[in-house]
Structure 1
Amino acid sequence: MGLFFAKCTSTARLDGKTVIITGANTGIGKVTALDLFKRGANVIMACRNLEKGETALKDIKNSCKDVDSNLGTLKLAELNLASFKSVRNCAGFLLKCDKIDILINNAGVMCCPYEKTEDGNEMQLQTNHLGHFLFTLLLLPKILESESARIINVSSVAHTRGTIDFNDLNFEKKPYKALKAYQQSKLCNILFTTELSRRLAAKNIFQITTYSLHPGVITTELGRHLDDVYFRGLRWIWRSIMWVFLKSPEQGAQTTIYCAVDEEIAKETGLYYSDCKRKKPAMQARNLDDAKKLWEVSLKMVGLENVNI
């Protein structure tokens, strides 16, 4: 499985570091939590479903019974990115931490049927972008207390076909296309990363670095809606016939882990990575005017118009 993939080779320890990972109960989020837990980090798994989160937490601890190195800690936090209320509640809880050193915005949905969140936004736009945008900015004051912090946004190569329609972000005027909505949300991840980096630098804040990445095409639950949106059997084809070209969650998590721990990229910021190395994203992901506009529009959509960053 996964004929070609890179592996994070850094042996960096994270003893005493606090790490928050969204969507850490499954897939690459769970693998990332396991890896950073082994490195001594105090990992907070921010999950929508606490029951599944508790199961994942126990699985991680059980898998480390014979690990000799000093382990970190594991805790759960409830986070539903499709609800701004939930995002605010979770952020309020996490602001009580002594510090936040690494924030990994990993959770996401892909190609789901058209649905609006309780806040009135298209599900993929809010879950993949707006929810993480709000979450990050609410946590930023605590992240600023870290001597050296990283903010990592898991995007996708799907951004290369993405476009942002600022006149109809929620597909209220044009026909809904699940893949187009997904591609748009993943493009937003990269533009957000770039603009956040630019704004931090403009404030002479250099101890926080930002990263976006493509984890690879992975055999996870992310494709669970393919049958609903396209045709029955596509998910089986995706997982059963294309498996040789897909990465396992362990393989897919490597670039996230790389961005979280690799010492050589500690001073890089606002960049995009794939297979544990820096890559140039698509032209539309390098549009600084769109990055600025997306920031301003997103602030209004999440109700943070007075944020000064």
Structure 2
Amino acid sequence: MSVLLSVLVAVLAAYILIYYSLFKGARFNSNVTLKGKTTIVTGLIALGRTEDVFGMAFGVNNLGHFLLTLLMLDHLKQAEFSRVVNVSTLLHRLGSVDFNLLNTQKDVVIGQLSWHAFRAYATANCVMCSLSMNSKLPGSVTCYSLHPGVIAAEIGRV
């Protein structure tokens, strides 16, 4: 299996765990196997709400990464040195988050595509999770948030 395919499989597995942990009320240990139907919820275009009434986009892009790190924390602490790397975006420089909107019916909460929602997504996407976790973890576990770079690809071509 190629390195890229291995990474994609790992990312897909992480998103499945995030989805089931946040949105199906399940909590997982390291021996879990997922069977049956799964739903993949991806970031900015995720509509709806979590069971905790947060917007799906906020849940997937922020709470999910935080939860996944917490679920793995015992294993991370056992290693001599562990790194948590959240792949994020440089777009966080464009945004701002109004935390008063998190429990309201405003568009930033339910994940509708609007400039306000995009700015909140761009700011909070993984960067805050990494900063928060880094300040709370023991010295053997560190958190990073990175932008993977930009490439010339036709992924956005219609």
TM-score, normalising length: structure 1: 0.39
Q: CA deviation at 1:187?
A: 2.4
Q: In the alignment, what sits opposite 2:38?
A: none
Are 2:105 and 1:169 equivalent residues in the alignment? Answer: no
Give the distance between the partners of 1:172 and 1:81, measured in 2 at CA. Answer: 22
Q: CA deviation at 1:87?
A: 7.3
Listed as ranges, the gaps of 5+ residues in structure 2 are: 33-40
Give the letter aligned to residue 157 of structure 2: R
Q: CA deviation at 1:184?
A: 2.0
The sequence identity of aligned pairs, in percent, is: 29
Give the letter aligned to residue 130 of structure 2: T
Q: In the alignment, what sits opposite 1:119?
A: 52
Instruction: Pick the structure with more strand per residue.
Output: 1
2:43 to 97, 109, 115: 109
Give the distance between the partners of 1:220 and 1:206, measured in 2 at CA. Answer: 41
Question: Are the aligned partners of 1:82 and 1:131 in contact in 2 as well (CA < 8 Å)?
Answer: no
Q: In the alignment, what sits opposite 1:233?
A: none
Give the distance between the partners of 2:100 and 2:150, measured in 1 at CA. Answer: 30
Are 2:19 and 1:46 equivalent residues in the alignment? Answer: no
Q: In the alignment, what sits opposite 2:157?
A: 239
Give the distance between the partners of 1:220 and 1:198, measured in 2 at CA. Answer: 39
Give the letter aligned to residue 144 of structure 1: K
Give the distance between the partners of 1:31 and 1:83, measured in 2 at CA. Answer: 26
Note the 1:1-309 alignment, pairs <5 A.
31=4, 33-34=6-7, 46=13, 78-81=16-19, 83-84=21-22, 86=24, 88-89=26-27, 91-92=28-29, 94=30, 96=31, 108-110=42-44, 112=45, 114-169=47-102, 172-173=105-106, 176-188=112-124, 189-200=126-137, 205-217=138-150, 238-239=156-157
Question: Are the aligned partners of 1:87 and 1:134 in contact in 2 as well (CA < 8 Å)?
Answer: no
Give the letter aligned to residue 17 of structure 2: L
RMSD of aligned residue pairs (Cα, Å):
3.5
Question: Are the aligned partners of 2:107 and 2:114 in contact in 1 as well (CA < 8 Å)?
Answer: no
Give the letter aligned to residue 151 of structure 1: V
Give the distance between the partners of 1:82 and 1:187, measured in 2 at CA. Answer: 25
Question: Are the aligned partners of 2:14 and 2:68 in contact in 1 as well (CA < 8 Å)?
Answer: no
Question: Are the aligned partners of 1:197 and 1:209 in contact in 2 as well (CA < 8 Å)?
Answer: yes
Residue 144 of structure 1 aligns to a residue whose secondary structure is: helix
Q: CA deviation at 1:88?
A: 4.3
Instruction: Pick the structure with more helix per residue.
Output: 2
Cα offsets for 1:284-309 (capped at 9, x unmatched): xxxxxxxxxxxxxxxxxxxxxxxxxx
Compare CA radii of gyration and give the structure with the larger one.
1
Question: Are the aligned partners of 2:47 and 2:55 in contact in 1 as well (CA < 8 Å)?
Answer: yes
Cα offsets for 1:223-267 (capped at 9, x unmatched): xxxxxxxxxxxxxxx325xxxxxxxxxxxxxxxxxxxxxxxxxxx
Give the distance between the partners of 1:217 and 1:136, measured in 2 at CA. Answer: 26
Q: How many residues align?
A: 143
Q: CA deviation at 1:197?
A: 1.1
